[in-house]
Amino acid sequence: MTVRTNETWLADLRSAGTAHEEALNDLRSVVQKGLPFALSRWLSVNDPLFQPLVEEVTQETLLRVLDQLNTFEGRSLFTTWVHKIAIRIALTELRRKRWRDASLDELTANEDAPPPPGLLADPQASPETAAERRDMIARVRRILEEELTSKQREALVLLGLQDVPMEEAARRMKTNRNALYKLLHDARLRLKKRLALEDLTAQDVLLTFEQK
Asked whether residue 151 falls in the same domain as residue 87, the answer is no
Domain harbouring 49, CATH code: 1.10.1740.10
75 and 141 co-located in one domain: no
Statement to judge: residues 204 and 122 lie in one domain:
yes
Q: pLDDT tens for residues 177-204?
A: 888 888 888 888 888 888 888 777 666 5
pLDDT in tens, 103-158: 334 433 443 444 444 434 444 556 666 676 677 777 777 887 888 888 888 888 78
Q: Which of 63, 95, 127 is the last residue of a domain?
A: 95
Question: Which pLDDT score, from 0 to 100, does residue 124 have?
Answer: 53
Domain of residue 125, CATH code: 1.10.10
Query: Does one domain contain both 87 and 19?
Result: yes
Q: Does an H or E element contain 97, and which?
A: none
Last residue of a domain, one of 43, 63, 95: 95
pLDDT for 147 equals 85
Q: Is the pLDDT of residue 170 over 80?
A: yes
Domain with 23 in it? 6-95
Average pLDDT over the chain reads: 76
More confident residue, 28 or 112: 28
Task: Work out how many domains the chain is built from and give that number.
Answer: 2
Task: Label residue 167 left, alpha or beta by phi (over 0 means left) and psi (-120 to 50 means alpha).
Answer: alpha
Rg of the Cα trace of the chain? 18
**Residue 98 phi, psi (nearest 5):** -140, 170
Are 5 and 77 within 8 A, CB to CB? no
- Residue 203 sits in the same domain as residue 122: yes
Q: Is residue 105 part of a domain?
A: no
Is 156 part of any domain? yes
